[in-house]
Chain A
Amino acid sequence: DAGVIQSPRHEVTEMGQEVTLRCKPISGHNSLFWYRQTMMRGLELLIYFNNNVPIDDSGMPEDRFSAKMPNASFSTLKIQPSEPRDSAVYFCASSAEGPQNRPQHFGDGTRLSIL
């Protein structure tokens, strides 16, 4: 079975540029999560969606960050304009919500470097 698919795997760009990260959740999963991981702060939840609707975006650092989920099989995380402090690994995860708790399954991440 295909897991969570993220693209690109690596992104290197200059500060000020727009960056778009993409995620395809596991088919049938209706919750999707975006995380950021750095050495200093560990894993941080940025935003999560349930049935394509953003439920909690309190982790989004600032207005430069935005996320969308236009349908059940696709989500984007956009940073505009990007800054060097945005450099991190960005993970997308998905889970199936149901009467029992379901673990989140993570994609391989996008390693973002802003120069």
Chain B
Amino acid sequence: EDKVVQSPLSLVVHEGDTVTLNCSYEVTNFRSLLWYKQEKKAPTFLFMLTSSGIEKKSGRLSSILDKKELSSILNITATQTGDSAIYLCVPIQGAQKLVFGQGTRLTINP
């Protein structure tokens, strides 16, 4: 059965801290992996990772995929209160089928 495990499930840090969110997956016919940020409404797209070992960056956020270890991490440096959200690691299985885990709930305190 396809599954995604994210850790930690919940994380509370102070503004300015750096956080690392972890994701491990077991997915048949793996294609690529997505990271989404979900605040109050719909998940918003952050990164798509297809190749192993290549870091993708967007401002204070970065992410990398390790296909050998079936894992990915999402780093956020100099966190801000606006980074508070649920972060979803979502591998794509087969023909665009997304496999969702429970996500990591990140809370940034001022």
Interface on A for B, CB 8 Å cutoff? 4, 31, 33, 42-45, 48, 50, 55-56, 91, 95, 97, 101, 103-109
Contacts and interface: CB of A to CB of B under 8 A. Distances in A.
B97 A101 contact: no
A55 B98 contact: no
Contact of A101 (B31, B41, B88, B102): B31
Contact of A105 (B31, B45, B98): B45
Interface of B: 31-32, 34, 41-45, 48, 50, 88, 92, 95-98, 100-103
Contact of B48 (A42, A101, A106): A101
A31 B44 CA distance: 17
B41 A108 contact: yes
The dominant DSSP class at the A interface is: strand
Given A50-B95, A55-B95, A109-B41, A103 B100 contact: no
A42 B103 contact: yes
A107 B88 CA distance: 16
The dominant DSSP class at the B interface is: strand
Nearest to B102: A42
Contacts of A108: 41-42
Given A91-B42, A103-B34, A33 B98 contact: yes
A42 B96 contact: no
Nearest to A107: B42
B50 A101 contact: yes
A39 to B, nearest CB: 10
Contacts of A95: 96
Given A42-B103, A109-B42, A104 B96 contact: yes
A70 B32 CA distance: 30
Contacts of A42: 100-103
Contacts of B102: 42
A107 B43 CA distance: 8
Contacts of B100: 42-45
27 contacts: A4-B42, A31-B96, A33-B96, A33-B98, A42-B101, A42-B102, A43-B43, A43-B100, A45-B100, A48-B96, A48-B97, A50-B96, A56-B97, A91-B42, A95-B96, A101-B31, A101-B32, A101-B48, A101-B50, A103-B34, A103-B45, A104-B45, A104-B96, A104-B98, A107-B42, A109-B41, A109-B42
